[in-house]
């Protein structure tokens, strides 16, 4: 079992400690041979089904009147990321993709989607970004025009995780009640709806299902709207608020794995008549890596704990995401360095971590966006 000393920290309840230990053991049994060079869509579907069957996806959705347990989803993402990045992605997208339904769905919407998401039978996706609206997401153009008892959707969404394999998309579109962020509504769009097409599959450095979607007079029933007209932007931000800390937790999992791999390498690599680990510069590097891992963990679980106490964590979640994602990039880079040539060889764990971590500094609010949030909160 990996180093799980942090489970003794006071942020956790007994159920969290049990959850993390049980998941770590499950991952050791089920995630040893996840092949990222085969059909990534099929691999993702299999992982979602496995996570659903084992019950882990129950934590990604919230029952009526319940809140998502932030510490649980952070521990799950940290643990999955430490074992396998694609398994973390599969879990995260079930949560992010259905998060708006957990938060705001009617009883009928919840009943129709959430049990299937939790069982791993329906794949979820979150469609917010557009080619011209990423960080400045309120500039979105995708439109929803009222037409009888439905809305007609027109426009594009891009960088949509699970795009192409999702069974439904939670889509944010401009419905025009007011200018800017107050004129956006949220809809649940089933993937087989006429007028929705996958315009492009996007290949990225760490392969994940990703696509650009095009909507052409795509008719969605009014009953598929989430919340009230014009309330979609707020709902998107509330969803991201729940999951932002968990992105930091995933980065922490990647960093923890890199530290573990770096330590093993340093202890086993003979060098200059001793071991790589015996060189003072190596010990300094390992010390820096360990400090970064622990400071990220403290920030992640401070934010998660505060949120579970019902506190607003705008600043703390932004700090956790900024520190943990930027820190993980440094820790992983240091691990690659410890491996020398092997560090950049395809198939090495540190090489895949190096590719895996990069996008986390960009999505769900790039690092610069987190800096702005923290600055704004400090100056309030």
Ligand X SMILES: Cc1cc2nc3c(=O)[nH]c(=O)nc-3n(C[C@H](O)[C@H](O)[C@H](O)COP(=O)(O)OP(=O)(O)OC[C@H]3O[C@@H](n4cnc5c(N)ncnc54)[C@H](O)[C@@H]3O)c2cc1C
Asked if residues 224 and 188 have their Cβ atoms less than 8 Å apart, the reply is yes
Closest CB 135 distance from ligand X, rounded Å: 3
- Between the alpha carbon of residue 47 and those of residues 53, 90, 143, 318, the distances in Å are 10, 7, 34, 29
Nearer to ligand X, 126 or 233 (CB): 126
The 8-class DSSP code of residue 130 comes to B
Closest CB 116 distance from ligand X, rounded Å: 19
Rg (CA), the chain: 21
The 8-class DSSP code of residue 136 comes to S
Closest CB 97 distance from ligand X, rounded Å: 8
What are the beta bridge partners of residue 275?
Answer: 270
Closest CB 335 distance from ligand X, rounded Å: 21
Binding site for ligand X (CB under 6 A): 126-129, 134-135, 159-161, 204, 210, 359, 362-364, 366, 368-369, 372
108 is catalytic: no
Closest CB 339 distance from ligand X, rounded Å: 25
Sign of CA dihedral 166, 48, 303, 325: negative
DSSP 256-323: HHHHHHHHHHHHH-EETTEEGGGSHHHHHHHHHHHHHHHHHHHHHHHHHHHHHTT---HHHHHHHHHH
Output the residue with the shortest Cβ distance to ligand X: 134
What are the beta bridge partners of residue 214?
Answer: 156, 197
CB proximity list for 338: less than 8 A, separation 6 or greater: 262, 265, 266, 276, 282, 285
Nearer to ligand X, 103 or 306 (CB): 103
Nearer to ligand X, 83 or 361 (CB): 361
Nearer to ligand X, 22 or 372 (CB): 372
Nearer to ligand X, 70 or 161 (CB): 161
Nearer to ligand X, 98 or 161 (CB): 161
CA 237 to centroid of chain Cα atoms: 14
Reduced to 3 states (helix: H, G, I; strand: E, B; else coil), residue 229 is coil
Active-site residue, from 156, 177, 364, 368:
364
Closest CB 15 distance from ligand X, rounded Å: 29
Q: Kindly list the catalytic residues.
A: 364
């Amino acid at each position: 079992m990996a180093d799980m000393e942090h489970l003794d920290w006071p942020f956790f309840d007994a159920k969290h400690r049990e959850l993390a230990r049980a998941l770590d053991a499950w991952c050791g049994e089920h995630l040893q041979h996840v092949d990222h060079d085969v059909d990534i869509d099929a691999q993702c579907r299999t992982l979602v089904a496995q996570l659903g069957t084992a019950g882990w996806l129950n934590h990604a959705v919230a029952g009526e009147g319940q809140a998502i347990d932030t510490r649980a989803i952070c521990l799950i993402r940290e643990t999955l990321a430490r074992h396998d990045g694609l398994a973390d992605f599969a879990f995260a997208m079930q949560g992010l993709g259905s998060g708006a339904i957990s938060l705001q769905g009617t009883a009928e919407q919840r009943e129709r989607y959430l049990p299937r998401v939790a069982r791993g039978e329906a794949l979820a996706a979150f469609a917010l970004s557009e080619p011209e609206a990423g960080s400045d997401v309120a500039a979105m153009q995708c439109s929803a025009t009222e037409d009888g008892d439905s809305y007609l959707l027109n426009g594009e969404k891009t960088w949509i995780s699970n795009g192409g394999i999702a069974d439904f998309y939670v889509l944010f579109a401009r419905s025009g009640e007011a200018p800017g962020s107050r004129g956006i509504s949220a809809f649940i769009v089933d993937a087989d709806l006429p007028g929705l097409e996958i315009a492009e599959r996007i290949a990225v450095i760490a392969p994940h299902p990703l696509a650009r979607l095009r909507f052409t007079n795509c008719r969605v029933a009014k009953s598929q709207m989430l919340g009230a007209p014009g309330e979609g932007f707020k709902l998107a931000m509330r969803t991201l608020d729940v999951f932002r800390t968990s992105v930091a937790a995933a980065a922490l999992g990647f960093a923890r794995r890199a530290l573990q791999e770096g330590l093993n390498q340093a202890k086993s690599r003979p060098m200059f008549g001793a071991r790589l680990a015996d060189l003072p510069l190596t010990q300094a590097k390992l010390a820096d890596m360990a400090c970064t891992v622990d400071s990220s963990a403290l920030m992640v679980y401070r934010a998660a704990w505060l949120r579970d106490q019902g506190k607003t964590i705008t600043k703390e979640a932004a700090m956790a995401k900024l520190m943990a994602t930027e820190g993980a990039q440094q820790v992983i880079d240091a691990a690659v360095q410890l491996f020398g040539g092997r560090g950049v060889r395809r198939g090495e764990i540190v090489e895949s971590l190096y590719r895996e971590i990069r996008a986390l500094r960009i999505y769900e609010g790039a690092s610069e966006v987190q800096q702005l949030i923290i600055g704004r909160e400090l100056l309030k």
